[in-house]
Chains A and B, each alone.
Chain A
Amino acid sequence: MTISESKDLTFECETGNYHTFCPISCVAWLYQKIEDSFFLVIGTKTCGYFLQNSMGVMIFAEPRYAMAELEEGDISAQLNDYEELKRLCLQIKRDRNPSVIVWIGTCTTEIIKMDLEGMAPKLESEIGIPLVVARANGLDYAFTQGEDTVLAAMAQRCPSTFTTGINPKESNTFSSFFNFGRKQIESKDGKLNPIEHQPLILFGSLPDPVVTQLNLELKKQGITVSGWLPAKRYMELPTIQEGNYVCGVHPFLSRTATTLMRRRKCKLISAPFPIGPDGTRAWIEKICSTLGIQPNGLDEREQQIWDSLTDYLNLVKGKSVFFMGDNLLEVSLARFLIRCGMIVQEIGIPYMDKRYQAAELNLLEETCRKMGTAIPRIVEKPDNYNQIQRIQELKPDLVITGMAQANPLEARGINTKWSVEFTFAQIHGFSNARDILELVTRPLRRKGNFRELGWNTLIE
């Protein structure tokens, strides 16, 4: 892979004084995704308080997550970490009997240098439940990168040989396809004949309906997806073998990609991410070309989606947007919005992996040229205070920002959209493009109705 650093893209780096969620928030969506898992966050009251408040009503639904709350005795090593964790894990085993316990290391475990990776294998054999360790802490990572640390750890746990009988009911036709001598199987409606190609594994946690949609899009091109990391259940983690192709669906999974390449000897398909019809199309095309498959029908498919978006496109066309940056989806979203006719003034982003996002950055450049707009600057580790000065100067039509700044900006007459909604909404694939624009235009539509009342700012 080559490092793409075009002269035209500008990257800046500020102070890193920005608001984002702590990466431990990934337990909120991962415990729902991996149905037989249990997430144990080893940290302090601060971590617990954050999760309890950010998860909203989820916390009342008896989630498969808990805090191992460190007390003064743990910090000063008066208590034995191993014995303490063993006691809690046995309790979890007794009460919930999960197929895997994921330990989430936090800032505190880093500072007191608790050796989670060292303890896990020993405890694992003692209690008989797999223990996966992910250090998703605020010292090193931001928000969605939490998922990256968990998936990178899980990538190591994917089996490398096919085993039978783990889950005969759920094991999909695709993996059995590889089991029985790669015999072509007739798809049910007879139209979509899978083409023989190297196994492809996709990585990134998505809601099941979106997984099905993306599988289906690839199936239409004759591509079979051998598995997803993560799968619905820990017991169904995909088999990964040397030489398999892997491709990411989220822009924030660089560690997972690295792990799959270096530790599992997989070949990474570097593609733009399937966000927006343009992104989805480019994603499929790249996968097709890597696997030596001639894509077909993509032109019409993409055009059809764009046509269906006309009403929203009229609303956003020519409007300016400013990404303050907190979840790493920013480049993909900006690229899609530019294609929609918006003017992006700044792309703030917590962390920019130019290698992993190379194809996405290329598509961004290409899109800007195609649409005849200036290439926005990309600000890594932004400084929220400086950004607010810039926002007040630029007066963008829409600021995509965290919830800490949204209300104050609104009071100053600036339209905002909470960035966190893009992480929880379904935004991948062709048919969800509309959902992205629904989110983006909501504040614009709502404000349109109020403007005639003459209230734009609410501060003196």
Chain B
Amino acid sequence: MKLAYWMYAGPAHIGTLRIASSFKKVHAIMHAPLGDDYFNVMRSMLERERDFTPVTASVVDRHVLARGSQEKVVNNITRKDLEEKPDLIVLTPTCTSSILQEDLQNFVDRASLESQADVLLADVNHYRVNELQAADRTLEQIVSFYIEKALKKGDLVLQKTRIPSVNLIGIFTLGFHNQHDCRELKKLFLDLGITVNEIVPENASVTNLKNLPQAWINIVPYREVGLMTAEYLKNEFNMPYIDITPIGLIETTRFIRKIQEMVNQLGGNVNFESYIQQQTKAILETSQFIQPNKTNNRKNFTKKAIVFGGSTHASAITKVLVKEMGINVIWAGTYCKYDSAWFHEQVKSFCSSILITEDHAEVGNLIAKTEPDVIFGTQMERHVGKRLNIACGVISAPVHIQNFPLGYRPFVGYEGTKQINDLVYNALNLGHEVSLFEVFNDSSNNLTLKENISISWNSEALEELKKIPGFIRNKVKRTTETFAKERKIESITLDVLYASKESLIN
């Protein structure tokens, strides 16, 4: 047992559901108790989805505990098959249901005999892997299932496309700015004259998965999800993949050059150097920020920053801060414990110490101890920053609704570089502004806000007033006093307080 208040990565089934619900016409059925379908709320609220989340629960209740699921799971699968006519149904166990040790594979086998849809059992261990690892595994499971199915049927097309093409692997629902990144990557490939063959799993159809081998190269933009699938395709079809995250100018350049190199190796003939030059120049011109030597307030750039987040974003942002902005990253860290060796490798030359932990308190304490000027982290670090009065930019999941912006905010590619520049600059400047404000603010000037009504409150009413939330307390106090004055009431009692509230209503 461990005492926990906050977790950076969710339970395994969330990862599976994120993959399943990203595909079109894939329905997930959770074997779970009532209330475990909170995923639907998150998807609907955060992604502001217009469609019903294709996830239902086969509810585990007392009867199931007593007698086992028996026909229930099978019935729920065949029912969904008739109602929604999906291509694939993924049965997803949860932490709770996996302890029951029911033979879910047996239910899946039986249900797939009756249903039109394919049926799969998500193959993840709920006590050993987290959300991200489960997502990675589920994506591989679905892809390999359909590749093998096509192999058996003999309709797998291994012929490569005529024009150089790529698959984008690992764009999915509730990912940090994934939708925007996806659009930016598509635009980048359009500029480079490379076709995007398939994007999985976001908006993909499982019937198209057999087309995956037609692409020349697989692109895995995020470290956390998609690598297993890319490895699988490499082993099966000898497809090369690129796992560079194109965040920041330098990495984007490296990313494009790597594509160039691979395409040319595979018999293409492309040269992207002039494109890189042109894009880079355009950004460097508009962004004095990236060239600290040209600016006169050079002081800003000896700022100390800390970075914490998922392995992809934390390492990428660390590199951008150090290499492109000259900011001193005193430490960088990630909650992706299972991938710590890779993270070490990525950032060890850019910061003096590295923190690998899933414990938010440890992160918070280290922030308090090291007193950075600016924090780049998740929502949790943003709140630590608020408490300690340190500016913060959010660069990684877990996030809240404000990190699912409606406006275009990619993190990858050239547009992403601009967006990160704004983010970093604003975070730094905000902290600077606040301190200037405090230096110049003369609090004795705030007399305008003071009130001079002298009406007494009896102790009961005063007690009640104190219970009213701070941000409206003064308003309530003023209106009640005005109310009392108008009625020539000298002392405010509980009755007066509530009569005043009701009078507002009338």
Please determine whether chains A and B interact with each other in the same assembly: yes
Q: What's the least CB distance linking B52 to chain A, in Å?
A: 5
Given A45-B10, A59-B5, also A189-B493 (CB < 8 A)? yes
Contact of A404 (CB < 8 Å), options: B13, B44, B99:
B44
Mark out the residues of chain A between 93 and 120 whose CB falls within 8 Å of any chain B CB in the assembled complex. Answer: 106-108, 110-112
| Cross-chain contact A91 with B1 (CB below 8 angstroms) | no
The answer to the question of B3 belonging to the interface, with a C-beta cut-off of 8 Å to chain A, is: yes
**In the complex, chain A residues whose CB is within 8 Å of the CB of B95:** 44-46, 108
**In the complex, chain B residues whose CB is within 8 Å of the CB of A70:** 1
| Cross-chain contact A405 with B5 (CB below 8 angstroms) | no
| Cross-chain contact A216 with B498 (CB below 8 angstroms) | yes
A236 to B287, CA, bound (A): 62
The answer to the question of B36 belonging to the interface, with a C-beta cut-off of 8 Å to chain A, is: yes
Q: Which A residue sits closest to B401, measured CB to CB?
A: A56
Which stretch in B60-68, B327-335, B405-413 binds the other chain? B60-68
Given A67-B3, A404-B40, also A308-B502 (CB < 8 A)? yes
Given A139-B33, A405-B52, also A88-B10 (CB < 8 A)? no
**In the complex, chain A residues whose CB is within 8 Å of the CB of B458:** 188
A430 to B502, CA, bound (A): 9
The answer to the question of A166 belonging to the interface, with a C-beta cut-off of 8 Å to chain B, is: no
**In the complex, chain B residues whose CB is within 8 Å of the CB of A44:** 11, 95-96, 126
The answer to the question of A208 belonging to the interface, with a C-beta cut-off of 8 Å to chain B, is: yes
Q: Which A residue sits closest to B49, measured CB to CB?
A: A407
The answer to the question of A74 belonging to the interface, with a C-beta cut-off of 8 Å to chain B, is: yes
A68 to B33, CA, bound (A): 19
A128 to B95, CA, bound (A): 33
The answer to the question of A352 belonging to the interface, with a C-beta cut-off of 8 Å to chain B, is: no
The answer to the question of A168 belonging to the interface, with a C-beta cut-off of 8 Å to chain B, is: no
| Cross-chain contact A431 with B498 (CB below 8 angstroms) | yes
**In the complex, chain A residues whose CB is within 8 Å of the CB of B128:** 72
The answer to the question of A212 belonging to the interface, with a C-beta cut-off of 8 Å to chain B, is: yes
| Cross-chain contact B62 with A209 (CB below 8 angstroms) | no
| Cross-chain contact B10 with A49 (CB below 8 angstroms) | yes
| Cross-chain contact A209 with B464 (CB below 8 angstroms) | yes
A188 to B83, CA, bound (A): 66
The answer to the question of B48 belonging to the interface, with a C-beta cut-off of 8 Å to chain A, is: yes
A388 to B52, CA, bound (A): 10
| Cross-chain contact B467 with A137 (CB below 8 angstroms) | no
Q: Which A residue sits closest to B80, measured CB to CB?
A: A385
| Cross-chain contact B34 with A88 (CB below 8 angstroms) | no
Q: Which of B6, B14, B100 has the most CB of A within 10 A?
A: B6
Given A16-B61, A403-B41, also A408-B49 (CB < 8 A)? yes
The answer to the question of B108 belonging to the interface, with a C-beta cut-off of 8 Å to chain A, is: no
**In the complex, chain B residues whose CB is within 8 Å of the CB of A213:** 498
| Cross-chain contact A49 with B14 (CB below 8 angstroms) | yes
Q: Which B residue sits closest to A140, measured CB to CB?
A: B62
A46 to B4, CA, bound (A): 12
Q: What's the least CB distance linking A428 to chain B, in Å?
A: 13
A112 to B127, CA, bound (A): 15
Mark out the residues of chain A between 27 and 52 whose CB falls within 8 Å of any chain B CB in the assembled complex. Answer: 42, 44-46, 48-50, 52
**In the complex, chain A residues whose CB is within 8 Å of the CB of B60:** 107, 139
| Cross-chain contact B10 with A67 (CB below 8 angstroms) | no
| Cross-chain contact A408 with B50 (CB below 8 angstroms) | yes
**In the complex, chain B residues whose CB is within 8 Å of the CB of A127:** none
Q: What's the least CB distance linking B268 to chain A, in Å?
A: 38
| Cross-chain contact B464 with A137 (CB below 8 angstroms) | no
| Cross-chain contact B40 with A19 (CB below 8 angstroms) | yes
| Cross-chain contact B36 with A138 (CB below 8 angstroms) | yes
**Contact pattern, B 36-71, Cβ under 8 Å of A = 1, otherwise 0:** 111011101100111111001101111001000000
Mark out the residues of chain B between 450 and 496 whose CB falls within 8 Å of any chain A CB in the assembled complex. Answer: 458, 460, 464, 467-468, 493-495
Q: What's the least CB distance linking B45 to chain A, in Å?
A: 5
**In the complex, chain B residues whose CB is within 8 Å of the CB of A216:** 494-495, 498
**In the complex, chain A residues whose CB is within 8 Å of the CB of B99:** 75, 108, 111-112
Given A19-B37, A209-B467, also A111-B100 (CB < 8 A)? yes
| Cross-chain contact A54 with B127 (CB below 8 angstroms) | no
The answer to the question of B501 belonging to the interface, with a C-beta cut-off of 8 Å to chain A, is: yes
The answer to the question of B303 belonging to the interface, with a C-beta cut-off of 8 Å to chain A, is: no
The answer to the question of B229 belonging to the interface, with a C-beta cut-off of 8 Å to chain A, is: no
The answer to the question of B341 belonging to the interface, with a C-beta cut-off of 8 Å to chain A, is: no
**In the complex, chain B residues whose CB is within 8 Å of the CB of A106:** 96
The answer to the question of B178 belonging to the interface, with a C-beta cut-off of 8 Å to chain A, is: no
| Cross-chain contact A188 with B493 (CB below 8 angstroms) | yes
| Cross-chain contact B468 with A209 (CB below 8 angstroms) | yes
Mark out the residues of chain B between 301 and 330 whose CB falls within 8 Å of any chain A CB in the assembled complex. Answer: none
**In the complex, chain B residues whose CB is within 8 Å of the CB of A79:** 1
Contact of A74 (CB < 8 Å), options: B1, B10, B400:
B1
A162 to B3, CA, bound (A): 37
| Cross-chain contact A71 with B2 (CB below 8 angstroms) | yes
The answer to the question of B380 belonging to the interface, with a C-beta cut-off of 8 Å to chain A, is: yes
Q: Which B residue sits closest to A21, measured CB to CB?
A: B35
The answer to the question of B211 belonging to the interface, with a C-beta cut-off of 8 Å to chain A, is: no
Q: What's the least CB distance linking B72 to chain A, in Å?
A: 10
| Cross-chain contact A50 with B38 (CB below 8 angstroms) | yes
Q: Which B residue sits closest to A211, measured CB to CB?
A: B467
The answer to the question of A22 belonging to the interface, with a C-beta cut-off of 8 Å to chain B, is: yes
Q: Which A residue sits closest to B42, measured CB to CB?
A: A53
Q: What's the least CB distance linking B8 to chain A, in Å?
A: 10
**Contact pattern, B 61-102, Cβ under 8 Å of A = 1, otherwise 0:** 110010000000000000000010000000000111001100
**In the complex, chain A residues whose CB is within 8 Å of the CB of B45:** 403, 407
| Cross-chain contact B467 with A138 (CB below 8 angstroms) | no
Q: What's the least CB distance linking A396 to chain B, in Å?
A: 17
**In the complex, chain A residues whose CB is within 8 Å of the CB of B57:** 17
**In the complex, chain A residues whose CB is within 8 Å of the CB of B53:** 404, 408
**In the complex, chain B residues whose CB is within 8 Å of the CB of A84:** 1
Q: Which of B3, B11, B57, B467 has the most CB of A within 10 A?
A: B3
A388 to B53, CA, bound (A): 13
| Cross-chain contact B36 with A22 (CB below 8 angstroms) | yes
| Cross-chain contact B11 with A49 (CB below 8 angstroms) | yes
The answer to the question of A459 belonging to the interface, with a C-beta cut-off of 8 Å to chain B, is: yes
The answer to the question of A411 belonging to the interface, with a C-beta cut-off of 8 Å to chain B, is: yes
Given A16-B61, A59-B6, A85-B1, also A407-B48 (CB < 8 A)? yes
Give 16 A-B pairs besides A110-B65, A188-B458 with Cβ atoms closer than 8 angstroms.
Answer: A22-B36, A46-B94, A60-B383, A65-B5, A71-B127, A107-B33, A139-B34, A140-B61, A143-B35, A189-B495, A308-B506, A402-B41, A431-B498, A431-B501, A431-B505, A434-B505
27 A–B contact pairs at CB < 8 A? Answer: A17-B56, A21-B35, A21-B38, A23-B35, A45-B11, A46-B94, A46-B95, A46-B96, A50-B35, A59-B6, A67-B3, A67-B4, A68-B2, A68-B3, A71-B1, A72-B127, A74-B1, A85-B1, A87-B1, A88-B1, A140-B61, A188-B458, A207-B467, A208-B464, A305-B502, A403-B45, A458-B50
- The 4 A-B residue pairs with the shortest CB-CB distance, nearest first, are A22-B35, A138-B33, A404-B40, A411-B50
Instruction: List the interface of chain B (C-beta within 8 A of A).
Output: 1-7, 10-11, 13-14, 32-38, 40-42, 44-45, 48-53, 56-57, 59-62, 65, 83, 94-96, 99-100, 126-128, 130, 379-380, 383, 400, 458, 460, 464, 467-468, 493-495, 498, 501-502, 505-506
Instruction: List the interface of chain A (C-beta within 8 A of B).
Output: 16-17, 19-24, 42, 44-46, 48-50, 52-54, 56, 59-60, 63, 65-72, 74-75, 79, 84-85, 87-88, 91-92, 106-108, 110-112, 137-143, 188-189, 207-209, 212-213, 216, 305, 307-308, 385, 388, 402-408, 411, 430-431, 434, 458-459
